[in-house]
Copies of this chain bind each other. A is one copy, B any other.
Amino acid sequence: MMNYQLLKRLLVGAPLPSHREKHERLSVSTALAVFAADALSSTAYATEEILLALAIPAYAIYAGFANILSIPIAIAICLLMVIVVASYKQVIKAYDQGGGTYEVSKEHLGLHASHVAGAALLIDYVLTAAVSVCAGVDALVATKWVPPHQRVEWACSFLAIITIINLRGVKESGLFFSIPAYIFIFAMVTMVVTGLVQALTGHALAPLPVNFDHGWQGLGVPANIQDLLGIGLLLAMVKAFSHGCTALTGIEAISNGVKAFKEPAADNANKTMVIMGCILGFLFIGMTILAFFHRVMPMENNTVIAQVATSVFGGGSFFYYLVQFLTMVILIFAANTSFAGFPRLTSILANDGFLPRQLMHLGDRLVFSNGIILLGLVSAGLVVLYHASTHDLIPLYAVGVFLSFTLAQAGMVKHHIHNKEGNWKYSLFINGFGAIVTAIATIILLLEKFWEGAWIVVVGIFGIMWVFRKIKCHYISVARQLILPDSPQAFSQSVIEHTVVVLVSSLHRGTLPALRYARTISSRIEAIHVELRPDLTKRLVDAWDDWGQGVPLTVLKSNYRSVIQPLMEYIEEVDDRYPDDMVTVIIPEFVTKKFWHNILHNQSSLLIKAMLAFRRNKVVTSVRYFLEE
């Protein structure tokens, strides 16, 4: 017991008193690192995702066409981000106790919509955690430092580390994660600025001349195939757009976790969200432009970010390796955003009675410890189930968060129509437009990935909604059953008769205090012994006159060499003997000095307690005798 406490202290730290809660909250700079990790990590691959989607159809038209198209798509995604940020600014303002999408949908779209949002977000947080560490391990495997068959072990170890750091408290984990996050931001900004300056001062390749005649028409393909290509390209652009959108997870996490911020919490949350949006937008568009300047396309063994770093800093330079290393670190740490969002959401859901109550309370270190542990376990389970394969997990990803974006914006649309505050028509337009765009993105993501795994998310959402419902029903039923009766008199007057039964396996020092204790709590006492070996029983009966303290001894026969069955039958018989009474079963136990020594002794008392726990009007009492050695 003491060793467990010590280990807990070492891993997690000493408990924090409740009044420290205000001091544990995050400043804007730390919060940025916690909530932006996921969004920042996406700058490492969002450009690549767009170029990958465009590569084949665009190449058919013109070699550098994918790079050209990627820029407007990146801009469009950033515009969507602006809309989402603007919309969540209003969510945060309206729901400054946190809860984000879930609270918005609960108020404006009803219980079912809020359950869809809650379930979708829970799934997406778990997936974000799992996908992030797996992608980080992918990068680690690519360096050849880690053999591929150890992927699951490494991914689970990273999850364990992130879980423990989060259990240490909000502030401590924020500080831990902010260092690599800020170095990453610094390195990426340096790369983008340097690259852009190089390009503008003519040190990079000149941008390709945009000449549609060379490609589109000049290829000489017949008109109907050109049309088909046009449709293919359009679909590819839509796909590129929806893939690029995965960068937006962090925004929802901020709206969820307003209470993690220093006061004024809502203002600080908004500030963090806007700064995060600016950094993300700058890096994302900057990376896409640099990729365009250097005609970078994704290659099998070379990521877009590595190629850009090579072009800007040179292949073997310090900055090249720094960018590579930080990309790996930030991919793993992106999981931390889930650890900021998930436990807060489960706490809100538990508070509403839709999840087990244990998820509701702050733990020793003023974080929702149970939620953090739950996220760690579930995401590790997912990693094991999917053999840490990023490829298999990706199709499940992002559907949930887009569903929640759509619901949040739809909720805000109703909010504006209902409240008509300030410049509400303008806000209504923003949120309405955002709702339509995110709804389209959701549908595209769902359709595109449905049979690859997104159907699991749909089933999962319905499954979790069913669990929410079942849990709520249970709590309502328990509360109804436990409500106090109308009058206190009935209870305070009636007196319980009770019979005490002492189980005696043999006469030893541990039996005597149990008998003595039994005598103090009732005058109706019986000692019971189950005969397993007749020689031992005889010895007990012979000694009973001297040692039995006047308590009558009953010997029960056992046909099946089991203590349990005859005991249970006899206890039921005693219970039947007197109506309206209780039977107190006293079990003498001795406690060994060392905890693990107990495995050397018969644990039938545990079994007896477990069996009696399900019988009415039985009270089980252990009277312990402590061994000194």
Point out the residues of chain B lying under 8 angstroms from A358, CB to CB.
602-603
Point out the residues of chain B lying under 8 angstroms from A510, CB to CB.
482
- Is the CB–CB distance between A491 and B520 below 8 Å? no
Q: Can you name the residue of chain B whose Cβ is closest to the Cβ of A357?
A: B602
Q: Mark A296-314, 1 if CB is under 8 A from B, else 0.
A: 0000000000000000000
Check: A29 CB closer than 8 A to any chain B CB.
Answer: no
CB distance from A302 to the nearest CB of B (A): 32
CB distance from A595 to the nearest CB of B (A): 8
Q: Can you name the residue of chain B whose Cβ is closest to the Cβ of A492?
A: B549
- Is the CB–CB distance between B619 and A626 below 8 Å? no
Q: Mark A487-511, 1 if CB is under 8 A from B, else 0.
A: 0100110111010000000011110
Check: A274 CB closer than 8 A to any chain B CB.
Answer: no
- Is the CB–CB distance between B356 and A600 below 8 Å? yes
Partner of A599, one of B356, B509, B623: B356
Check: A391 CB closer than 8 A to any chain B CB.
Answer: no
The CA-CA distance from A579 to B201 in the complex, in Å, is 89
The CA-CA distance from A604 to B412 in the complex, in Å, is 41
Number of copies: 2
The CA-CA distance from A602 to B358 in the complex, in Å, is 6
The A483-540 residues at the B interface (CB cut-off 8 A) are 483-485, 488, 491-492, 494-496, 498, 507-510, 512-513, 515-517, 519-522, 532
Point out the residues of chain B lying under 8 angstroms from A515, CB to CB.
491
Point out the residues of chain B lying under 8 angstroms from A492, CB to CB.
516, 547, 549-550
- Give the interface segment out of A131-139, A211-219, A609-617: A609-617
Q: Can you name the residue of chain B whose Cβ is closest to the Cβ of A623?
A: B619
Point out the residues of chain B lying under 8 angstroms from A425, CB to CB.
none
Check: A144 CB closer than 8 A to any chain B CB.
Answer: no
Check: A591 CB closer than 8 A to any chain B CB.
Answer: yes
The A547-602 residues at the B interface (CB cut-off 8 A) are 547, 549-550, 558-562, 582, 584, 590-592, 597, 599-602
Check: A362 CB closer than 8 A to any chain B CB.
Answer: yes
- Give the interface segment out of A11-19, A120-128, A258-266, A283-291: A11-19
- Is the CB–CB distance between B496 and A484 below 8 Å? no
Point out the residues of chain B lying under 8 angstroms from A7, CB to CB.
none
- Is the CB–CB distance between B610 and A1 below 8 Å? yes
Check: A364 CB closer than 8 A to any chain B CB.
Answer: yes
Q: Determine the interface band of chain A, counting residues with CB < 8 A from chain B.
A: 35 or more
- Is the CB–CB distance between A591 and B619 below 8 Å? no
The CA-CA distance from A605 to B218 in the complex, in Å, is 80
Once A547-B488, A600-B474 are accepted as A-B contacts, the answer to whether A620 and B622 lie under 8 Å apart by CB is yes
Once A483-B508, A520-B496, A610-B1 are accepted as A-B contacts, the answer to whether A18 and B629 lie under 8 Å apart by CB is no
Partner of A559, one of B17, B498, B628: B17
Once A362-B561, A627-B481 are accepted as A-B contacts, the answer to whether A488 and B621 lie under 8 Å apart by CB is no
Check: A478 CB closer than 8 A to any chain B CB.
Answer: yes
The CA-CA distance from A274 to B363 in the complex, in Å, is 69
CB distance from A356 to the nearest CB of B (A): 5
CB distance from A432 to the nearest CB of B (A): 40
- Is the CB–CB distance between A484 and B509 below 8 Å? yes
- Is the CB–CB distance between B364 and A15 below 8 Å? no
Check: A471 CB closer than 8 A to any chain B CB.
Answer: yes
Q: Can you name the residue of chain B whose Cβ is closest to the Cβ of A549?
A: B492
Query: Which A positions have Cβ atoms within 8 angstroms of B?
Result: 1, 15-19, 356-358, 361-364, 471, 474-475, 477-478, 481-485, 488, 491-492, 494-496, 498, 507-510, 512-513, 515-517, 519-522, 532, 543, 546-547, 549-550, 558-562, 582, 584, 590-592, 597, 599-603, 610-611, 613-614, 616, 618-629
* Given A488-B547, A495-B516, A498-B521, 15 other A-B residues pairs in contact with their CB atoms under 8 A: A1-B610, A357-B602, A358-B603, A361-B561, A364-B560, A471-B600, A482-B509, A485-B509, A488-B546, A491-B549, A492-B549, A496-B513, A521-B522, A591-B613, A618-B624
